[in-house]
């Protein structure tokens, strides 16, 4: 009971953080509605009247969007299993001008005010899964809502994979209590219904779990030393169901699959070969 109350308090703190950062609550509710939309001071969040892009499923009428965000910029999410090579891929494209690269905020997940929710989750997922995933959801939402500085944004993972892969995995494996799953799901549904989170293309780095296991050991991140091959197999299966079979959760954007079991040199070649397809997201 006490644990559940603590989670609710944490969730309220999270949404207050988002609203405070983007000044949504006072300015939104104090806003005046005109025929052309809502007028708000610069830097605040506004509701947009419509947004539809061909090739994507998102129609964002009436959703919150941060003022000053250029909705014409393309957003490409790099998805894949743990240690599949997402950061390495982003590093490669970061050398291209006009591409803004946002890596996952893992450093925050390892240190929030002196606490390490990533390590806690791996030590005791039943207790700390909701704590980590609440913070992952908040920090990824923050990434999605950052004002864009280039015509193309590439970001590592998304609020969608946090929910459809990692939260689902914790719940389906019996490591997340049903009440925690229900609360996280309600949050996710509210956020994605009310806030504009456009994604134009998903690039899926498709690896075997064995490859990821080897790369994980090579990377040697302290918190991840306890990850067994079976964990990577579960995450792999969820990714395949979502992005290849397209049978589990809704797709926020079209998917480009890049086989990623190859060595680094071949991967860089693959990225170059797919560069035009990836950057074509800018013209959708
Ligand atoms: N194609 C590759 N072949 C071999 N090792 C790789 C390859 N791509 C990445 N690595 C290494 O594997 C580890 C995980 O890669 P990383 O890009 O951090 O994965 P992710 O961001 O998906 O977790 C790192 O040590 C990285 O140097
Ligand atoms: O929603 C999430 C997203 C990520 N994680 C974990 C998985 C890894 O241990 C780290 C970072 O992932 P990378 O694939 O190495 O970038 O965070 C999670 O538990 N939940």
Of the two residues 11 and 258, the one the predictor is more confident about is: 258
22, two tokens: 């983007």
Q: How many domains does the chain have?
A: 1
pLDDT reported for residue 41: 41
- Identify whether 58 is part of a domain: no
- Identify whether 114 is part of a domain: yes
In this prediction, residues 126-140 reach a mean pLDDT of: 98
In this prediction, residues 113-141 reach a mean pLDDT of: 98
ipTM of model:
0.99
CATH of residue 178's domain is 3.40.50.300
Q: From atom 15 of ligand 1, which residue's Cα is the shortest distance away?
A: 85
Q: Encode pLDDT of 80-117 as tens digits.
A: 999 999 999 999 999 988 899 999 999 999 999 999 99
Tokens 């998917």 -> residue? 255
Closest atom, ligand 2, to C-alpha of 223: 9
pTM over 0.90: no
pLDDT reported for residue 163: 98
79, 83, 220: residue to mutate for ligand 1 pocket, most atoms within 8 A of CB: 83
- Identify whether 22 is part of a domain: no
- Identify whether 14 is part of a domain: no
Residues 210, 204: Cα–Cα separation, whole Å: 17
Dihedrals φ, ψ of 262, to 5°? -80, 165
pLDDT reported for residue 273: 96
- Identify whether 50 is part of a domain: no
* pLDDT beyond 50 at 204: yes
Q: Encode pLDDT of 42-76 as tens digits.
A: 445 555 554 444 333 344 567 887 765 656 789 99
In this prediction, residues 180-196 reach a mean pLDDT of: 97
Judge residue 88's burial from the number of C-beta atoms within 10 Å of its C-beta, 0-12 exposed, 13-18 middle, 19 or more buried: middle
- Identify whether 135 is part of a domain: yes
- Identify whether 63 is part of a domain: no
pLDDT reported for residue 156: 98
Q: From atom 3 of ligand 2, which residue's Cα is the shortest distance away?
A: 162
Task: Name residue 5's beta-bridge partners.
Answer: none
Work out the angle between the directed axes of helices 2-22 and 178-194 (0-180°, nearest 10).
Answer: 20
User: Does residue 267 sit in helix, strand or coil?
Assistant: helix
84, 87, 105, 109: residue to mutate for ligand 2 pocket, most atoms within 8 A of CB: 109
Dihedrals φ, ψ of 86, to 5°? -65, -50
Judge residue 241's burial from the number of C-beta atoms within 10 Å of its C-beta, 0-12 exposed, 13-18 middle, 19 or more buried: middle
Non-local (6+) Cβ contacts of 190 within 8 A are none
Closest atom, ligand 1, to C-alpha of 214: 12
- Identify whether 24 is part of a domain: no
User: Does residue 43 sit in helix, strand or coil?
Assistant: coil
The residues lining ligand 1, judged by C-beta closer than 6 Å to any ligand atom, are 80, 82-88, 215, 218-219, 262-264, 267
pLDDT reported for residue 65: 78
pLDDT reported for residue 281: 81
Mean pLDDT of the chain: 83
Catalytic residues: 156
Q: Give the structural domain span for 129.
A: 70-283
């Amino acid at each position: 009971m006490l644990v559940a109350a603590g989670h609710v308090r944490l969730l309220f703190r999270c949404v207050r953080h988002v609203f405070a950062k983007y000044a949504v609550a006072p300015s939104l509710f104090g806003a005046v509605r005109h025929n052309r939309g809502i007028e708000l001071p610069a830097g605040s969040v506004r509701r947009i009247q419509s947004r539809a892009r061909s090739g994507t499923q998102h129609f964002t009428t009436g959703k919150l969007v941060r003022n000053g965000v250029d909705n014409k910029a393309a957003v490409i999410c790099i998805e894949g299993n743990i240690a599949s090579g997402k950061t390495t891929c982003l590093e490669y494209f970061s050398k291209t001008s006009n591409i803004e690269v946002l890596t996952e905020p893992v450093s925050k997940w390892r240190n929030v005010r002196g606490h390490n929710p990533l390590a806690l989750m791996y030590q005791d997922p039943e207790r700390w899964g909701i704590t980590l995933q609440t913070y992952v959801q908040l920090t990824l939402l923050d990434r999605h809502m950052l004002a864009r500085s280039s015509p193309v944004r590439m970001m590592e993972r998304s609020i969608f994979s946090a929910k459809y892969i990692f939260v689902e995995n914790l719940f389906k494996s019996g490591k997340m209590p049903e009440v925690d799953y229900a609360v996280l799901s309600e949050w996710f549904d509210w956020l994605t219904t009310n806030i504009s989170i456009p994604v134009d293309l998903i690039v899926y780095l498709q690896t075997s779990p064995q490859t990821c296991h080897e790369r994980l050991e090579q990377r040697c991140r302290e918190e991840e030393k306890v990850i067994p091959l079976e964990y990577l197999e579960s995450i792999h299966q969820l990714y395949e169901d979502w992005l290849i079979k397209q049978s589990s959760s809704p797709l926020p954007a079209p998917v480009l699959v890049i086989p990623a079991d190859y060595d680094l040199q071949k991967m860089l070649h693959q990225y170059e070969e797919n560069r035009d397809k990836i950057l074509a997201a800018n013209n959708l």
